[in-house]
Amino acid sequence: MKAVLFDQPGPADVLRLGDFADPVPGPADLLISVKFAGVNRADLMQRQGFYPPPPGASPILGLECAGVVVEVGGEVRGWREGDRVMALLPGGGYAQKAVVDYRSAMPVPSTLSDHEAAAIPEVYLTAFLNLFLLAGVKPGETVLVHGGGSGVGTASIQLLNFIGARTIVTAGSDAKCEQCLKFGATVAINYNAGPFAPRVRAATNDRGVDVILDSIGAAYLMPNIEALAHGGRLLIIGLMKGAKAEIDLSQVLRRHIKIFGSTLRSRSSAEKGEIISAFLEQFGQKLHAGEIRPPIYKVVPMTEAASAHRMMQASEHFGKIVLAIS
Ligand SMILES: NC(=O)c1ccc[n+]([C@@H]2O[C@H](COP(=O)([O-])OP(=O)(O)OC[C@H]3O[C@@H](n4cnc5c(N)ncnc54)[C@H](OP(=O)(O)O)[C@@H]3O)[C@@H](O)[C@H]2O)c1
């Protein structure tokens, strides 16, 4: 099969189209003929050599895809050849064929196109896992989401709006803040126009936010704590600005702050299956009604995967970039 490959970690130019052995499905797997693959920030890190695939996963990039089931393992329940599918992958999406444990797959509702479906699993399940399963966000709470224009950010805005939570986002320009507000954020803060924490406190009558979804890491650790309300929950899901920071633990103690860290990719198929079941239970109707719909910034042919990576690196996108696999 054709796949987007790289021989050595490096800049986007290392990506090339090449031939790779077809994946072989195990008894609990679906073999998918991939039509589209979502591009994620983690793919850029893997390409640079900073985020190796978990043991046993495909070395090919790609954490989510959509396509058609072409083969079904003997232990698989509920799937048939010819079904439209979107899947959360531990790797392997940037290729004409991918295998996935059936518990990591979701049927594609008729209301969604294949390229929209390919942009759903990684970011919506990350947002759902962290905001709902780990932090237990409730209607009426206020959540700060860093990178409101990102794949995870836009998914978070959408899911939080469904339950009636207020969303404050950060973004790097007034134009992107405007896009976030149009997409449903309650407040948008341009992080390049000064420190975000005082503006978050001002936007919450100095109370602070109940929950923060953070993908920035070290540089935002103390300002995040400043922006949290008493008893607030901080979810760390990314380290775009560093992994090592100093923390004033007296703030954590006195203000009853809870800090969570998590990754989705490294979880077992059983855990991923439980997250997907819980997501479909809470948001399945919205998904089927076509109300869960990722904003697609651009669909790029797989032959131009390097340009898709450069686009994401420059953060010129709002929402998702998707590769068309041909
Ligand atoms: N732990 C997990 O399981 C998990 C799963 C999926 C994703 N993630 C993480 O979640 C993050 C988002 O992933 P993605 O694929 O959705 O990425 P993405 O679409 O590339 O978005 C990254 C966003 O961060 C914004 N940003 C950059 N510097 C910022 C700063 N200092 N303050 C606030 N925003 C900033 C960028 O936009 P502007 O600067 O233009 O506003 C961009 O919108 C990544 O860190 C990724 O590794 C974690």
Residue nearest ligand 1's atom 3 by CA? 263
**Tokens linked to 220:** 């935002």
Residue 245: which domain range? 123-261
Tell me: do 149 and 256 sit in the same domain.
yes
> How many structural domains is the chain composed of?
2
Query: Is 83 a domain residue?
Result: yes
Measure the CA–CA gap between 144 and 153, rounded to whole angstroms.
10
pTM equals 0.98
Confidence at residue 30, expressed as pLDDT on a 0 to 100 scale:
98
Tell me: do 91 and 44 sit in the same domain.
yes
pLDDT-derived band of residue 291, with 50, 70 and 90 as boundaries?
Answer: very high
CATH number of the domain encompassing residue 218: 3.40.50.720
Put residue 106 in one of left, alpha, beta given phi > 0 → left and psi -120 to 50 → alpha.
Answer: beta
Tell me: do 249 and 227 sit in the same domain.
yes
Task: Report CA(136)–ligand 1 centroid distance (Å).
Answer: 21
Residue pair 167/156 in contact (Cβ under 8 Å)? The answer is yes
Task: Report CA(41)–ligand 1 centroid distance (Å).
Answer: 7
Query: Is 195 a domain residue?
Result: yes
Tell me: do 29 and 69 sit in the same domain.
yes
**Ligand 1 atom with least separation from CA of 149:** 43
Query: Is 36 a domain residue?
Result: yes
Residue at which a domain ends, from 261, 277, 309? 261
Confidence at residue 106, expressed as pLDDT on a 0 to 100 scale:
98
Q: Which residues pair with 143 in a beta bridge?
A: 167, 211
Tell me: do 229 and 147 sit in the same domain.
yes
Tell me: do 114 and 62 sit in the same domain.
yes
Task: Report CA(312)–ligand 1 centroid distance (Å).
Answer: 10
Tell me: do 203 and 146 sit in the same domain.
yes
Confidence at residue 227, expressed as pLDDT on a 0 to 100 scale:
98
Residue with tokens 């976030």: 180
Query: Is 130 a domain residue?
Result: yes
Confidence at residue 215, expressed as pLDDT on a 0 to 100 scale:
98
* Pocket (CB within 6 angstroms of ligand 1): 40-42, 122-123, 126, 146-147, 149-152, 170-172, 176, 191, 215-216, 237-238, 240-241, 262-264, 312, 315
Confidence at residue 293, expressed as pLDDT on a 0 to 100 scale:
95
Residue pair 306/12 in contact (Cβ under 8 Å)? The answer is yes
Task: Report CA(215)–ligand 1 centroid distance (Å).
Answer: 6
Task: Report CA(147)–ligand 1 centroid distance (Å).
Answer: 5
Burial class from Cβ neighbours inside 10 Å (0-12, 13-18, 19+) for residue 182 reads exposed
Confidence at residue 31, expressed as pLDDT on a 0 to 100 scale:
98
Tell me: do 51 and 128 sit in the same domain.
no
pLDDT tens-place string over residues 212-253: 999 999 999 999 999 999 999 999 999 999 999 999 999 999
Query: Is 158 a domain residue?
Result: yes
Tell me: do 195 and 141 sit in the same domain.
yes
